[in-house]
Amino acid sequence: MTGCSSTLNPPEIEALFPAGSQPESRVVADTSCIPALSALLSFGYTPLILTGTIRQLLLQHYCDPDNILSARLRRYLQQNGAWNNTPNTGLLIESVANWRPEVAGKRPALLIREGDWDFKQVLIGDTIGTEWQSGVEDHLGMWQGSHIIFAIGIDAAETQILAAETAKVLVWFSRTIANQLDLHQFRVVKIGGLSAVEESREHYVSPIHLVYAAEERWSVQQDAPRLKKITFVPDAIFG
C-alpha cells in the first residue's frame, strides 16, 4: 500500500529471532497500514472476536433502511430509525450480555451469543511437519464453533420478520463472509421457533443458529535446534 511506513521490527528486535522467522510487528506508526482484522487475528480467532465480527456484519446491513429486504421492516426502520451508534437507535444490535428488557424498551433487538467451540483433529498429532535443522514444528487444527443471534421484538410477526431478514442476508452472503474472514465454513443452519422471553412477558424471541469452521495454525520451536545437541568428532567418524 502506497504511503505506508515500514511495518518491520527494529533491527535489535529482529536479531532476537531466527533468520527467516519473520516475527510479528505489533508497533506500527501508521495504523492505516494494518489490513482489516489483522491486529485482532494475530492471536487467531476466538469466540469473542467472532461475536464482534458478526455484530459488525449486522450493523452494516441495518444501518440503512434501503438495505432492508422486507418492505414491512424497511418501513418500520424508516419511521423509527435504523441502527445508529447512539442511545436512541431504532434497533439494538448487541452481545446478549449487554441486553436488558428495561433498557431495550419497545425497540426490536438482535442479540449475539457465543456457542460451543469444538477443536477437531485434522492431522495425526496436529502436526504438519518439522524443519529438522531449526527444530520448528508446524501444527494445524480446526475449530468448529457456533453462535446464536436472537431476534427480539414486542410483536410476534415483527420478531419473525426480523429473524427471517437476518437469516436470509447471512445465507445469501455466507460464501463472501467465509472468504473475507478466511473461514472454512460459515452458514446458517436453522431459524428457531418463536417463544416468549423469560425475562419479559412483552417480548418475543426467535433464534438464528450459525456454525462455522476456523483454522488454527501454530508453530513450536524448541529451546535449542536439534542439530546443536549433537557433537560430531571427526576422529570418531573416520576412526
Over residues 144-175, the pLDDT tens digits come to 999 999 999 888 999 999 999 999 999 999 99
Query: Number of C-alpha atoms within 13 angstroms, CB side, residue 135?
Result: 11
Domain membership of residue 9 (yes or no) is no
- For a pLDDT cut of 90, what percent of the chain falls above it? 38
CATH number at residue 173: 3.30.2000.10
* 3-class SS letters over 133-179: CCCEEEEEEEEEEEEEEEEEECCHHHHHHHHHHHHHHHHHCHHHHHH
pTM of the model: 0.72
Cell of residue 33, nine digits: 497500514
Give the pLDDT band of residue 202 (cuts 50, 70, 90).
Answer: confident
Number of domains into which the chain is organized: 1
Domain membership of residue 108 (yes or no) is yes
Domain membership of residue 21 (yes or no) is no
Residue-range definition of the domain harbouring residue 161? 44-238
CA distance 126 to 61: 38
Domain membership of residue 84 (yes or no) is yes
As a whole number, mean pLDDT of residues 25-51 equals 59
pLDDT at position 164 is 96
Domain membership of residue 32 (yes or no) is no
Domain membership of residue 128 (yes or no) is yes
pLDDT digit string, tens, across residues 171-198 = 999 999 898 888 889 999 999 999 887 7
CA distance 216 to 115: 18
Domain membership of residue 33 (yes or no) is no
Cell of residue 204, nine digits: 418475543
